[in-house]
Amino acid sequence: MSANWKSLVASAAVAALVSVAVAFAMLHWSRATASSDRQIHSWLVAHPEVLFEMQAAYQRKSDQRDEQALKESQAAVDRLGLKTFFDPRVAFVSGPANARNSVVEFFDYNCAHCRNTFPAVMKFYEAHKADTRFAFIELPIFGPASNNAARSALAARRQPDKYVAFHFALMSQRGAIDPANTIDAAKQAGLDVNALMAALKDPAVDVELNAAHALAERIKLDGTPLFIVNGKVHSGEIALKELEQLTGH
Asked if residue 232 and residue 184 are part of one domain, the reply reads yes
Burial 159-171 (b: 16+ CB within 10 A, else e): beebbbbbbbbbb
Q: What is the pLDDT along the chain (249 residues), one digit of tens a residue?
A: 444 445 554 555 555 555 555 555 555 545 555 567 777 778 778 877 877 787 777 677 765 676 777 899 999 999 999 999 999 999 999 999 999 999 999 999 999 999 999 999 999 999 999 999 999 999 999 999 999 999 999 999 999 999 999 999 999 998 899 999 999 999 999 999 999 999 999 999 999 999 999 999 999 998 999 999 999 999 999 999 999 999 987
Is-contact 13 66, C-beta < 8 A?
no
Q: Hey, what amino acid is at 30? A: S
Q: Is residue 207 part of a domain?
A: yes
Enclosing domain of residue 26: 5-72
- The domain tally of the chain equals 2
The predicted structure's pLDDT at residue 190: 98
Q: Is residue 49 part of a domain?
A: yes
- Tell me whether strands 132-138 and 226-229 are parallel, antiparallel or unpaired: unpaired
Alpha-carbon gap, residue 121 to 57, rounded angstroms: 35
The predicted structure's pLDDT at residue 45: 80
Q: Is residue 78 part of a domain?
A: no
Asked if residue 183 and residue 92 are part of one domain, the reply reads yes
Asked if residue 61 and residue 131 are part of one domain, the reply reads no
Asked if residue 227 and residue 204 are part of one domain, the reply reads yes
Please tell me the pTM assigned to this model: 0.78
Asked if residue 200 and residue 120 are part of one domain, the reply reads yes
In the three-class reduction of DSSP (H, G, I as helix; E, B as strand; rest coil), residue 233 is classed as strand
Asked if residue 67 and residue 104 are part of one domain, the reply reads no
Q: Is residue 77 part of a domain?
A: no
In the three-class reduction of DSSP (H, G, I as helix; E, B as strand; rest coil), residue 239 is classed as coil
Asked if residue 156 and residue 240 are part of one domain, the reply reads yes
Beta bridge partners of 232: 229
The predicted structure's pLDDT at residue 246: 94
